[in-house]
Amino acid sequence: MTKNLRNFYFKNESLRAFLNGIDKRDEKFIIGALKGTEVETSERVIRRGTWDRCILIVAEGTLIQFNENGDNKVYGEGAILGVE
């Protein structure tokens, strides 16, 4: 998993754009601070209304956001959530 994540961090266009303009030292710090987590199918990642100081980056697969009104959103590889 670690090798795949490192490849994703350095080759994914979305993540490269997110880190654009950051000093190399700071970029290495951010990459080092990222924590990889595997999530099983149908496992809840975060509950609605939860406030946290983090971002979610979809490195592989898809993430589905379910809404009460049925307007569900699907995020694919490279999606960065938690940043406006």
Domain that holds residue 51: 2-81
Instruction: Please enumerate in sequence order all residues whose Cβ is within 8 A of that of 18, keeping only pairs 6 or more positions apart, or say none.
Output: 80, 83
Predicted local confidence at residue 25, as pLDDT: 93
The total domain count for the chain is: 1
Could you give the C-alpha distances from 5 to 22, 38, 50, 51, 67, in angstroms and in order? 20, 11, 26, 25, 29
Contact between residue 34 and residue 9 where contact means Cβ atoms under 8 Å apart: yes
What's the pTM? Answer: 0.67
* 18-63: pLDDT as tens digits: 888 899 899 888 888 888 888 888 888 877 777 777 788 888 889 8
- Residue 71: HSE in the Cβ half-sphere, 13 Å Cα cutoff: 1
Contact between residue 61 and residue 38 where contact means Cβ atoms under 8 Å apart: no
